[in-house]
Structure formats: C-alpha cells, structure tokens
Amino acid sequence: MAVVAGGKEGLAQLEECLLIWPVEIGWHSLMFETSIALKWDYETMRLAAAREAVAALGLLLPSTEGRIYHFLDKRLTDHPTARCRAWRKHGEQMTMEQKKANGINPRTFYSRAAFAELTEAGRGRPLAAHDMTLLRAQFTVFRYSAVIDSRQVLEAYPNSFYEHETLNSECPACNRLDGLQTPADAIALFPPAGCICETANYRVKPQIDWLEDID
C-alpha cells in the first residue's frame, strides 16, 4: 500500500485506491490504517471520514458523501445536528402528505433534496440519517485533529501517549478502547471492527509527561 500524499494529489490517490478496492474487504482494511491516514491532509481525511460513515451506517446514498464532506467544515460554527437541520429546511419542501406517508411530522422541515439522499434504511429513520452519519464522521475527524494538533509536542516527549476515552455505553467494540494508551500510529482513528453503535463517539487525548526531562 502506497502512502497517500496530501492535497489534490492525495485526494486523487485516495479516489484511485477506493475505486480498485474490493467492497468485500470492508472499511477496516489496510486502506484506513492509522499510520497511513495520519499522513493525509485535512481535506483527504474529511473525504475518508465521510466515506466511512456513509458506508458503515448505510442511511445515506453513497453519492451523499460529498454532502457529509462539506458539512465537516473545520470552522465549527454550529453543532453537526444544527447543520443537518438547516440542510433539511433549505429548498423546496416535501408536501404534508409525503411527510405523513414517510412518518415525518408534517410540521417538521424536510426538503425534497434531503429526502432524495436517503437509502431505504434511511427512509425508516429520516430524522436520524444525516445526523448520525455526520456525527460519526465528525468524531473521526476530531480524533485525527487531536493527533495532528499535538503530534509535534508528543514527539519531543517520548514517554507520552494518547489515551482513548469512550463515551458510548452500548458498543462492546468502542468500549474495549476505553482507557487504551497507544502511540499516535496505533490509535483507533476510524471506528473499530465490530463497532455496532452509530456515532463511535470516543476521543483520544494526548497524555504528555512534561517532567520526563527533569532529573
């Protein structure tokens, strides 16, 4: 597996890898090995996180990964669920009858464009589909940013490490990560194999031994 570069070249390489990547290998193969993903720039990571979340949850059509990518803007001006709500509110709305027929409260905003992005499974949970997908991708990007922002400092303190902190109480795979201490290249950047929750809402915190150089 070649290391993926950053910028436009990185995106092109990522696209190429995913095109030739057999679906049956799944999302937790070499492609998304942490040591490789940490060499990507933010744009490449955004796309990979969006793609993983869309594919893993199956609530949005694959063509919607660009929407999730767009919502993963680095300027966190609003909550991910507010972004999704604003998107459903934007543009031509479904009729009252269409909303009722799809289990949506007629008073709830839901654009035709947003509804067209749902898979069959997503239509069963129209108010959760965008939100859960974006939250999953956002947590992945948060973990990436936590490492990128602190990596230089940790390199100066070799006894330092990252600690996983899991907020989810229902997912055995995510819960197994809680308290796990690893170097950057070994963190669970993408949700772990066997993850049964939707958002995989665990984070990684840098733990720096500031005093290690002091005798």
Residue 171 C-beta: closest distance to Zn ion, Å: 3
Instruction: Fill in the DSSP letter of residue 6.
Output: S
Distance CA 9, CA 14 (A): 9
Residue 58 Cα distances to 21, 130, 205, angstroms:
18, 11, 29
Distance CA 140, CA 192 (A): 11
Residue 169 C-beta: closest distance to Zn ion, Å: 11
For Zn ion (CB under 5 A), the number of binding residues is: 5
| DSSP-derived pairing of the beta strands 161-166 and 202-207 | antiparallel
Instruction: Fill in the DSSP letter of residue 29.
Output: S
Contacts of 121 (CB under 8 A, 6+ apart): 58, 59
- Of the candidate spans 37-45, 78-86, 115-123, 166-174, the one that interacts with Zn ion by CB under 5 A turns out to be 166-174
Nearer to Zn ion, 32 or 87 (CB): 32
What x-and-dash track marks residues 192-211 binding Zn ion by CB under 5 A? ---x-x--x-----------
| Cβ contact 166:178 at 8 Å | yes
Nearer to Zn ion, 83 or 164 (CB): 164
- Of the candidate spans 51-59, 99-107, 139-147, 173-181, the one that interacts with Zn ion by CB under 5 A turns out to be 173-181
Nearer to Zn ion, 31 or 195 (CB): 195
Per CB under 5 A, the list member of 171, 184, 187, 189 interacting with Zn ion is: 171
Which residues contact Zn ion (rule: CB under 5 A)?
171, 174, 195, 197, 200
